[in-house]
Structure 1
């Protein structure tokens, strides 16, 4: 006699909760951590721990490089996230570096020393506002791999260049280089020049969709490994070298942009008479 079929058990449905999924909140949480790092840099600068302040700003830059990529990977790109990221960038890369450099050397000039810091912060705000205003604009395809002007994290790296040099000189016992790095006029010139690069129309590689030729993959991996080892062994010299390399890269970036624009627009033809 055949056994009666067993009743099919229905899978228990998972309860559904209203609200955003946790995956979509991860990029905003990363941005929040970066904002906390920028605020911590300001506190460390006030307390005179300039090395710790520089590390906090570098950490904020590392987080800033991750949150956008996580948002695209998790398909969590939102207008709120973009606005929140820009506000965090202004504090971490506009206010914090200017404030730290002011406390590092510019306050020796009293009220005049605050002017370069103010110019840098204002230009950073203008640069981020221009970036947000162009989010919905349609641009030619050859412009997608370029920023207009130096991006915010790179601007903070260049603004902190005197601090990196000074900390390295202090560790090496080079009093003359430490004095140069703390010279207020030198630091003011670095801040103002970086501020002009922020609001300029200079095309700068974004490296978002940067394609490396096959023949250059292995040398690039080896170079990255060597630089990482150098950065761990001597972080201040490594960060200063990164800033100088970035400055040297800017002319090549502009030349690459002009070449791509010429290829996209094609040869100019004379109007028919």
Structure 2
């Protein structure tokens, strides 16, 4: 017969309370309720009516998730408010990032022509002899957020090789400047994977940390593929908001989210293409 240990029971009870506090705090971070300043422990203790140890355990969980950071002499701070996009099947992403305080920048790592291979010719359905390979880092509020490796048709994207801002250009900006390019449809396959060594270094995470891996295909209005991209994203810094309605709801059909591949990355314009 097992013996009940009151100390073990109290620890389990505190752990469960900490989990509940963690979930509510994470929700507040996602909603940008705190702005840029995370509240001190004593304030959280009062608001959630729990002990300081419970609050600290909840904060430790959020630190391990990458939502918060602890710094000696500074305390517990937000890593950054997650980028949130409202998704609508009829319009794609909403016109602006929720909150509006985040600063996004880009850094090109590699931009070069590479020889074509059968797989790329099959995907793009063209006889391109060369493709533009573009590897870049997306930076949010000074922190690495995602890495992207894109393949673009050589004839279409060759002007990027000599673009005056090629060192810090985003894909949405590039598409806006390339003549005759009109992104129309994006297909994404999203998986949870472990970061490889290179992605871990670029993203500033531990090797084998969980990241969101995205394979993305962007199509023009004529149905031609104009980008095949592979992204590794820090999952704690991304959020997608979208609504679904029951058939009895009053929402127009165009606003339901039947897309089996809802967008997950957050940079760029309504196509979310960066």
TM range (shorter): under 0.3
* TM-score normalised by L of structure 2: 0.22
Between Structure 1 and Structure 2, which shows a larger proportion of helix residues? 1
Greater Cα radius of gyration, structure 1 or 2? 1
Q: More strand per residue: 1 or 2?
A: 2
> TM-score of the superposition, structure 1-length normalised?
0.22
